[in-house]
Amino acid sequence: MAQPRLPTLGDGGDLTAGAERRLGDSIIRELYRDPDYIDDPVLVEYVQTQWLALLAAARARGELSPELDERFAWEVLLGRDRSVNAFALPGGYLGVHLGLIGVVASRDELASVLAHELSHVTQRHIARLMAQQSRQTPLMIGAMILGALAASKSPDAAQALAIGGQALVVQNQLNFSRDMEREADRVGYSLMAPAGFAPQGFVGMFDKLQQANRLNDNGSWPYLRSHPLTTQRIADMQSRLPPGASTLAPAPALEHAMVSARARVLSRPGVDVLRQWQAEPRSTGFAAQPAARRAGALYAAALAASQLRDHAGARALLVPLQAVVQGDAPAQRQVQLLAAELALAAGDVQAARQALSAGGGAASPDRPTLLLRTQVLLRAGQAQDMAGPLQTWLATHPRDAGAWQLLASVWQAQGQVLRSVRAEAEAHAARYDYAAAVDRFKAGQDVARKGSAPADFVEASIIDTRLRAVEALAREQAQQAAER
Ligand SMILES: [Zn+2]
């Protein structure tokens, strides 16, 4: 991982919300460059929706100060990693490994982890931790966080660090105190029902952690390392369930089973495992399994087949999957998206378009549909109509680098060179890579000056304005790096 460039915050002491956000921005700028960072629209949407529902509950319950609400990013970043982990970062960012999504049995279990991590943020645990360690510069803290994240992704790396005597230091510095953990459990639990989740998700997740603990399998469960499951935590949680309440969460939804299966397939389990998953629907007794189990297995089988380039096999698996999700709208939408994705992977643009139009051509499509539709139409050479919807989306989601990148491709395909270069620049700026953004904006100015394209004065003046703004940000970033 590249050397992090982190802002200075003065001599420690109080960490303002703005300073914490800047620290978070610097950390995630490095994470965006991590080869394991993955912007999978389906998984991002699923986790982000839960994160925002919990955030709204925290706001309504007065757990979230208006200042944090406004200043923090409240953004989820996914890592394509099979280990089970989630971590709150400074500034309202949440990192989630695909391994966690792949292992939770219900949306409520996933929400319990998000609610706990969100509460570390809203209760300013990160700021308090940093204030306690005021002798450490923010650079050291940021480097420590990045180092610990890298170590958590690979048990080998963690061991190598341990040999050097560093791992314990890193872990101890990052770990919240037991009191903070209990507070995050308590506040997180209180958000569950108001956010629309079954509080039993906490119990289910604790059971999972306990089982993993028994197997002593800490290497693939970094979350367990950073969140030791004490009898106190378990007792606290059980006492919170209303007397007589079932400890069982509601049956898992079809949609969750499929999204969880998607996370497992995308976490690169290897060819042998993909083959096993592809074969699972043919195993004896499969038809007698509960619907959610079958939906998850069929989804995994179809996606695995596609990854193994067995496109006909993938398409065939969609038929029984469509039958299982019949009458369940969220699950049907996931199957439509999957059908389009599989058709696109097979190069069957016509089938991909059909699959997407089955969902109805909503005027303001959700992000997975918008991005997938753009990719399909780009392949068909007919993406000109997508510039409008992408710009509409970006007006309310200006930090969506993936959407900027696709808009750049759409404009490129239309021969709108100047606009395409500007969109590329915005994609870099959205990931806080201001130096790269400045490069692209300047390339845009060159294009405008050379006048090889028809003069576009409006576009050229937008580029000039944006270049000045981003240059100022780039200077600030460079200065912060130099001050350290
Ligand atoms: Zn925690």
Residue with tokens 């996606």: 303
pLDDT of residue 476: 86
**pLDDT over threshold 50, residue 437:** yes
pLDDT of residue 14: 63
Distance 193 CA to ligand 1 centre (A): 20
pLDDT of residue 418: 93
Distance 199 CA to ligand 1 centre (A): 17
**pLDDT over threshold 90, residue 168:** no
Q: Is the model's pTM score more than 0.95?
A: no
Distance 150 CA to ligand 1 centre (A): 18
Distance 18 CA to ligand 1 centre (A): 23
pLDDT band at 163 (very low <50, low <70, confident <90, very high): very low
Distance 263 CA to ligand 1 centre (A): 23
Distance 117 CA to ligand 1 centre (A): 6
pLDDT of residue 189: 95
Distance 120 CA to ligand 1 centre (A): 7
pLDDT of residue 455: 65
**pLDDT over threshold 80, residue 482:** no
pLDDT band at 419 (very low <50, low <70, confident <90, very high): very high
**pLDDT over threshold 50, residue 11:** no
Distance 473 CA to ligand 1 centre (A): 33
- Give residue 287's identity as a one-letter amino acid code: A
Q: Are 51 and 92 in contact (CB under 8 A)?
A: no
Can you read off the two tokens belonging to residue 3? 């050397």
Distance 465 CA to ligand 1 centre (A): 43
Alpha carbons within 13 A on the beta-carbon side of 362? 10
**Paired strand residues for 94:** 76, 88
* Residue 155 region by backbone torsions, left for phi larger than 0, else alpha for psi between -120 and 50, else beta: alpha
In the chain, the percentage of residues whose pLDDT exceeds 90 is 61
Distance 144 CA to ligand 1 centre (A): 17
Distance 181 CA to ligand 1 centre (A): 5
> What is the chain's length?
484
Q: Which of 263-267, 299-303, 374-378, 451-455 has the lowest mean pLDDT?
A: 451-455
Distance 148 CA to ligand 1 centre (A): 15
Q: Which of 198, 320, 312, 334 has its CA nearest to residue 263?
A: 334
- Give residue 81's identity as a one-letter amino acid code: D
Render pLDDT for 65-118 as a digit per residue (tens, 0 to 9): 999 999 999 999 999 989 898 989 989 999 999 999 999 999 999 999 999 999
Distance 250 CA to ligand 1 centre (A): 25
Write the CB contacts of 173 (distance below 8 Å, at least 6 apart in sequence): 133, 136, 141, 144
Distance 71 CA to ligand 1 centre (A): 22
In the chain, the percentage of residues whose pLDDT exceeds 70 is 85
